[in-house]
Structure 1
Amino acid sequence: MDKQQIIAELHRDLESVLAERQAARAFPEAYAARTALRQFQSDRMSRTHADLLEDSETRAAANFFLSDLYGPHDLSQRDTNLQRALPTIERMLPVPALAGVAEAISLDALSERLDAGMANLLGAEFSETGYVDAYRKVGTRADRARQLDHVDRLGAALTDLVGYPLIGKTLSLMKMPAKLAGVAHLHDFLERGFKAFEAMRKPQDFVDKVVTRERQIMDQIYSGKKKPFVLD
């Protein structure tokens, strides 16, 4: 995908995710339900990938995935700042970094839509059984597979970023311009992702492990396995 295609998708998905988050904030009960759902998902993933969180080589990358992709915190301000500063970002970032941002926002947009549907069914208090039932009812299996495709491509983009010539120095030099442009949070996202992946000898192996486990859980949910979050 070339730079212009990446930029077009970034604009589209950012508008979508901002609309979903604004809608959730307008209704306190919906917002509380969404936050509870995200917390459940983050806690579950912490258990599924406990070994990656405990391993000194993969700990930073695992924390990055859990906090920035599946954490319960509200990223509305980040995305509002990102939308305002898009022209600057498009000029400043190399293609691998821009691709990573675009994949993160695409994942956000799809996850927000699916989470909103599940939160509407579940409310702020629910059981694991209720979660699994809502997971099957909201969206399609193809939607869930696309979520994991975005995770896979984001991991690949960060892996490519590690191999980009002088990218560490470039990100360091961008810190002040990013702050002045109002996108310090975005710069922090990229720099933490870069450093976490740079610390691993085989970053793609880490991504493959996460995605493979999550695909197995997805398959087990749809196949009706009694304990779908328990991996063989």
Structure 2
Amino acid sequence: MSRLTALDQLLEQYQQLQYHQDPALRLRLGQAQQWLKNRIQDTHQTLFNQPENQLMAQYFLQRLYGGSEFDALALQIERLLKYAHKAEKMIPENAIRTGLKSVGLAVLAMQLDEQVTIQLLRDYPLDQPIDDEMMRLTLIRLDQQQARLQQLELLDELGSSLDKYMNSFMMHTAFRMCKGVAMKYHFELMYDFIGEGFVAMKPMKSAADFIQQFTEKERLIVDNVHSDKPKPFKI
């Protein structure tokens, strides 16, 4: 069985998202994701602003928390799967394994955010700007508590994988060597998706430590929301 079978399954989940066929849902999803990214930047400002963390912070916001950037990547993943045997030869196994975790997190984020967006469209006019209270009430109605906690657990697992598999000279060397092949077969976006994780890690002592600090605060916010605390996003 191909090591990329899981990637095929993730792509299918992504393609089943409703916003692909619903312009209003797509518009509101973009707004909801922008609210989330703004909230994350505000919550983790101190962590993100540390010089060694800035690249990883951008990787989180642009890659792992979805958005329009993932659409183009999904198209390339679909093409990549047609040449799975070539991809498995040119990309190191541990890079594939860690890349799958990253893609899985991006798809999960899209799934959860779409659920939020559907609820927003049910409860509020499309042109009403999203604010903290709207989002608080929406998250309570959806009861995504367990799903969000699972998302954070997967993030912690990614941090461990990054430290274990990606932070080695041999892995960096092997990955750089396959860049030419990736360009030849037009897998640049997938290569960059994994490669940006390498680049983001370079200034850091430990990706796992960064992610654990991030998830600790995120778990507190999840608990605040579902404990009906006022202003749960301000910590």
Normalised by the length of structure 2, the TM-score is 0.87
Which AA in structure 2 matches 1:42? K
Q: What is the aligned partner in structure 2 of residue 147 from structure 1? A: 151
Cα distance in 2 between the residues matched to 1:107 and 1:6: 18
Higher mean displacement: 168-177 or 211-220: 168-177
Higher mean displacement: 118-127 or 146-155: 118-127
Higher mean displacement: 65-74 or 180-189: 65-74
Cα distance in 2 between the residues matched to 1:181 and 1:5: 19
Q: What is the aligned partner in structure 1 of residue 231 from structure 2? A: 227
Q: What is the aligned partner in structure 1 of residue 9 from structure 2? A: 12
Q: What is the aligned partner in structure 1 of residue 43 from structure 2? A: 48
Q: What is the aligned partner in structure 1 of residue 60 from structure 2? A: 65
Figure out how many residues of one structure are paired with residues of the other and give that number: 226
Alignment match of 1:26 (pick from 12, 21, 28): 21
The residue correspondences of 1:189-200 to structure 2 (distance < 5 A) are 189-200=193-204
SS for the counterpart of 1:226 is: coil
**2:93 maps to 1:89:** no
**2:165 maps to 1:161:** yes
SS for the counterpart of 2:216 is: helix
Cα distance in 2 between the residues matched to 1:136 and 1:98: 36
Q: What is the aligned partner in structure 1 of residue 96 from structure 2? A: 98
Deviation, structure 1 residue 58: 1.0
5+ unaligned residues in a row in structure 1: which ranges?
Answer: none
- Cα distance change on mapping 1:222 and 1:102 into 2, 3 Å: same
Q: After superposition, what is the alpha-carbon deviation per residue over 1:69-121, rounded to whole angstroms, capped at 9, x for unaligned?
A: 12532412211211221303333322321122211222233222221121112
Which AA in structure 2 matches 1:193? G
Q: After superposition, what is the alpha-carbon deviation per residue over 1:1-59, rounded to whole angstroms, capped at 9, x for unaligned?
A: xxx69633322122101221xx3132211100000011000111011111122111111
Q: What is the aligned partner in structure 2 of residue 211 from structure 1? A: 215
**Does the CA contact (< 8 Å) of 1:162 and 1:198 recur in 2?**
no
Q: What is the aligned partner in structure 2 of residue 107 from structure 1? A: 105
SS for the counterpart of 1:57 is: helix
**Does the CA contact (< 8 Å) of 1:58 and 1:206 recur in 2?**
yes
Percent sequence identity is 23
CA RMSD of aligned residues (A): 2.0
Which AA in structure 2 matches 1:7? L
- Cα distance change on mapping 1:160 and 1:201 into 2, 3 Å: same
**Does the CA contact (< 8 Å) of 2:56 and 2:197 recur in 1?**
yes
Deviation, structure 1 residue 225: 1.1
**2:168 maps to 1:170:** no
SS for the counterpart of 1:58 is: helix
5+ unaligned residues in a row in structure 2: which ranges?
Answer: none
- Cα distance change on mapping 1:150 and 1:181 into 2, 3 Å: farther
**Does the CA contact (< 8 Å) of 1:36 and 1:72 recur in 2?**
no
Which AA in structure 1 matches 2:58? N
Cα distance in 1 between the residues matched to 2:61 and 2:93: 24
Deviation, structure 1 residue 180: 2.1
SS for the counterpart of 1:14 is: helix
Q: What is the aligned partner in structure 1 of residue 116 from structure 2? A: 118
**Does the CA contact (< 8 Å) of 2:66 and 2:109 recur in 1?**
no
Cα distance in 2 between the residues matched to 1:216 and 1:85: 38
